[in-house]
Every structure is written in C-alpha cells, then in structure tokens.
A and B are shown apart, each in its own frame.
Chain A
Amino acid sequence: MTGDILVFVEQRAGSVREVSYQLLSKANQICAELSVRLTAVFIGPKASFLSSDFYKKADRVLVLEDERFGDFNCEIARDVMVGIIKEQRPAMVLVGHTPWGMDLAPAIAAKTGLPLSTDCVDIKIEAGKVKAVRQLYGGKLFARVVFKDESKGCIFTVRPGSFSVEGYPDRMGEIVPIEAPKDLPEPSSRFVEYVDTGAGEVDITQAELLVSIGRGVGEKERIEEIQELARILGGVVSCSRPVVDKGWLPKYHQVGTSGKSVKPKVYLALGISGAFQHVAGIAGAGTVIAVNKDKKAPIFRVADYGVADDLFAFSDAIKKALKK
C-alpha cells in the first residue's frame, strides 16, 4: 500500500466536528504503520479552517474554499472527493459515520467503484491486508470484514467515539488550496437552513440521577410506573430513541447522538439494549447501572453494574425497599 490515507473533514457552521479529529488520529496511526502520507480534505470557508488546529494533524490539507460550498452539499463533496481519489489514488479514504457521512461515503463508493465498509469501530492491517471491524445486530456480534479487491483503494466510515484524539504527534500540515472541478454540474439539492429542535420543560443534562426508559418498557401505559420510580428516587426521567419515536415521551428526554449528552452521577438504564447511538450520550455518566432481561444485551458491556431481570420487577423491588 503506497497511496495516502485520505480523511474527509466534516465542518458545520464554521467549526470542525469532533469526529474528524478522531479520524485523523486513527489515520495518523495507520500512516505510521504503512509509512504513507496523511491527507485531509476540507471544504468550507477558510476562516473556520484557520481558527481550528486540525491542519496540524495531517501532512497535507487540501482546502477548497468557495463561498458556494460553505454548507455541506453532498453532491459537491462527492464530486470533489471523487476527483481527488481519481487523481491521487489514496490507499484508504476515511469518512465519519455521521448523518452526512452516511450520505457521502456510499456516493463516493458508487461513483469510484471502490469497496466500502461502514460504521467501523476499528481498521487493522494484518499481513498487508486491510480488515475492518464492525458490529452486527446492534452490537451483539462483531464481524471482521475484508475486501475482495483493495488494490485500487477502499473506503470506510468510522463510528464516532471509536478513537481517542490523544497522544499522537503533530504533523504540521502543508495547506494546499484546490479548485472545484471545472465541469461541476449544478447540484440537484441545496442547503436551506439549520433548525434547532429546541429545549424542553425538563433539562436532562443537569440531572444527578437519570432513570432512563428504553423500548423494553413495552407500552406507553406502563411508563407511569417508571416515572413514579424516578419520583421516589428523586431522579429525572430520560429515555432512548424508540420511546420518543413512539410518542411516549417528548424529544427533550432523549439521550444519544441525536438527543442529548448527559452526565449524571448515576444513570439507570431500564430496558435499553445499548446501541452505540444511545451509549454515545452517556459517556459522561459517573456510574451506569443497567437492567435488562436479556443477559447478552450490549448495554452490559458498557455498564458498571448490571441486573439481568425484568425492569418492572426491579422497579417494584426498589420501591418496596425504599418504603421500608
């Protein structure tokens, strides 16, 4: 493998997203292993670029500054990336497994014909062969994925939070301005605006104890029992996404990547399986106690304490113990 490792840097409203730093740190490690260059691609206003320090993390940053592309446009990003890939033939392309990355990476793969492995939690090189580690069934199993033919390069989307940004040397990147491909067609989609889904009556980010409800609660009618438990414990109710999707609780209770990040002293997860999009929101929690009737539920791998039981039996037992 001789080509560069190419990293797509995600930028929103002028600031570089955390996930991009994580990608750069993983890419840094791979570059050291393979003795190849790290090239980052940045599309957006130069001001935001200069106010961040990510360029120090790459050997080279290709910057496309064009006021038309200040906001993410998947087709532009795709065409720019495809152009760079065709010209420079990188060994690997890394994109964040984020909503934008999920839009962009398969598009690049389809246009270049390069193989793609998504939502990777690790990338390894074993005996010269690239291997991606990813999860199946919401984290119940792991799979090592290989490519049939990686000789022309390969593409990965990397799960946010999989790599630490600490502990790798600065590379003092060279900044290389690039031009948009000349024959860039008018995109068939355009950015309109960002909308904040807003705060609610309860602020789960400030709670010391969160009693969090997952799909395992089964039906709306039984949420009241857990709300009562939260009242008795003096905690605040939060929840996983399906509980909001089903309209059982308002959105501002939701913990996770598309909800809120929380930092309670204790996080009590009741009937939550432990999908990464949920778990990403509880990284700041002091102690996690999980109750799930499936003893193989992935949440038990991230919790500090686990109870393999029916959540209502657990809730009743706590209520009873506190009444004493």
Chain B
Amino acid sequence: MDIVVCVKRVPFTQEVDLEIDRSKRFVATESLAHVINDWDSYAVEEAILLKEKLGGEVTAVTVGSEDDEEVLRRALAMGADRAVRIESGGMPMDGTVVAGILASVIRNIPCDLVLTGVQADDDNQAVVGVTLAELLGLSHAAVVRGIEVSGADIVARIELEGGVDEIRRLRLPALLTIQTGINEPRYVSVMGIRKASKKELKVIDVKELGLSQNDLVPPTEIEEIYLPADTGGAEMLKGDPSVVAEAVIDIMRRKGVAL
C-alpha cells in the first residue's frame, strides 16, 4: 500500500499578540515558533501504521518554503520513506491553489491512498484535502477517525456530530482527511530527526510544474484581517489568586452550586 501524506507547518499562536501588518491583510508569523499541523501528525502516524501493517512506501509532501522542511523531516523521522517539498516562492495561495499544486505533483507519485489533515490550525479551512481528491479523481471521505483496508476497498469510520460515526466503504485509490485522536502519533527525538536527514527530500519549484497562471491565482482573497471586538466578553476577575478564588466560589454559590 503506497501512501502520500500532505503536511503543513503552522505557527504556534498561544499567548502571542498576533500582529496585523499595515496592509491589514497579513499576520506577522515569522518570529513565532512553528509546529506540524496537529491533524497532520495524526495523518502521518496513520500512514506509517498502515505501512507497517501492509507494506509499501510513504511519501510526505508539503507546499512551502525551506523552513517548512522541518515538518517533512519530522515525517521522515516518524517513518516516511521520502519527502517532497514544492517551493512556492512565497506567492499568495488559498486552499484551491495549494490543492492544485499538490495534485500536479501527486499525480506522478503512484499511490493507493492519500491522507491529509481535516484542517490546518492556522486558516481552519478544511478545503485542501477534498479539493485535491476531486482533482485527482479519487473517492474521498472527510473527518475520518478509523481506517480498515479490506481488499480493494477501504472502510472509513467518519466522525459525525454528537457521538455518532458513519461507516463508509470506499474503493481505492482514495483520499481521506484525518481527524485527531485516530491514533497516538509516535514521539520523535531530535536525534531521530537528525538521522532522518539521510532520507531523500526532493525539492520541486512550483514554476517547473507547468501550471497555468489561472491555476495559481487564488479564487479567494483576504480583504481585511481584524481583531475581534473587545466588547461583550467575560468580566475579568483580577487580583491575588486567593482573592480570585473567593470571588469564583462566591459566583458558584450565587449560581446555585452547592459547595
């Protein structure tokens, strides 16, 4: 079973004051720490688990800059066999453009299964996976939290709302967008990542892909990014922890909690 898994590097934004630039269309993220998109680390682990069970090879792919190779090396350290980075040259992209770029590369990688994350932690779009499937003509399922391969089919457990799952049988080749919790992504050490640097990491320039200008112009554009309004939020309880604790206990009692 040969598998391609798409991974994205995303900024870590907790406890940071995100800075909107003067054009009001971009956020400065260069100085932030970056991590592998949470959903993608589950997708990589799932690919490796399937490979360990069924044999085959795993290729990790990202569209991004040289810094983004960090997530490919992590995937290699987890057990992927090779990696491909498509150099995007910093051009503006949306989910449709990224899917188009990925499709033109993955089309040339023989595989039975393509995995992506459900969504990326930065843009929260949930667009790239299914769009890519359609461009490649693969059957697809979104928000998958269980996989079983059965002959020429794959049986996916799709997470619906409210604790209900749908079991769906898809013909291979297929693309699944992977939900967190499907497995336990393995730990990789710095040492492991260093060792994995011996594995193949191919870089392709987006200009070599023969995509038309039309494919590279994003159909959606951010007109403005803004901070949520300050009004209407929580009443913040301030002061010494003991003062805050008393206030919270008092609120609970007033709201009818028996303490």
Please state if A102 and B177 are interface contacts (CB–CB under 8 Å).
yes
Total interface residues in chain A, CB < 8 Å = 99
Q: Does B126 contact A (CB under 8 A)?
A: yes
Across-interface contacts of A174 in B (CB, < 8 A): none
Given contacts A136-B27, A140-B13, whether A301 and B232 have CB atoms under 8 Å apart is yes
**CB-based contact A103/B258 at 8 Å:** no
> Is A317 in contact with B241, judged by CB distance below 8 angstroms?
yes
Contact of A106 among B134, B181, B245 (CB under 8 A): B134
Q: Which residue of A lies closest to B122 (CB)?
A: A137
Query: 29 A-B pairs, CB-CB below 8 angstroms?
Result: A99-B158, A99-B160, A102-B142, A103-B140, A103-B142, A106-B95, A109-B96, A116-B127, A144-B225, A145-B222, A147-B219, A147-B221, A148-B220, A192-B155, A194-B167, A196-B164, A233-B259, A258-B160, A265-B255, A296-B15, A300-B233, A306-B234, A313-B241, A314-B241, A317-B242, A320-B242, A321-B246, A322-B249, A322-B259
Does B139 touch A at the CB level, under 8 Å? yes
Task: Select one of A148, A297, A308 contacting B219, CB under 8 A.
Answer: A148
The answer to whether B252 touches A196 (Cβ under 8 A) is no
A189, A300, A317: the one contacting B170 at CB < 8 Å is A189
Q: Is A222 located at the chain interface by the 8 A CB criterion?
A: no
Chain B interface residues (CB < 8 Å from chain A) = 11, 13-15, 17-18, 20, 27, 38, 95-96, 99, 118, 121-127, 129-131, 133-135, 139-143, 155, 157-171, 174, 177, 180-181, 184, 217-228, 232-237, 241-242, 244-246, 248-249, 251-252, 255-259
Given contacts A106-B130, A136-B27, A189-B168, contact A305 B224 (CB under 8 A): no
> When the two chains form their complex, are residues B225 and A143 in contact, meaning their CB atoms are under 8 A apart?
yes
Q: Choose among A188, A244, A247, A273 the residue that contacts B14 (Cβ–Cβ < 8 A).
A: A273
B168 → chain A closest CB, angstroms: 6
Task: State which of B99, B130, B171, B241 has its C-beta within 8 Å of the C-beta of A189.
Answer: B171
Report whether B221 and A146 are in contact in the complex, using a CB–CB cutoff of 8 Å: yes
- Which chain A residues lie closer than 8 Å to B252 at the CB level? 209, 233, 266, 289
Question: Is there a chain B Cβ closer than 8 Å to A245's Cβ?
Answer: yes
Interface residues of A (CB under 8 A from B): 12, 72, 74-75, 97-100, 102-103, 106-107, 109-111, 115-119, 131, 134-149, 187-198, 208-209, 233-235, 241-242, 244-247, 251, 257-261, 265-266, 268, 273, 286-290, 293-298, 300-309, 313-314, 316-318, 320-322
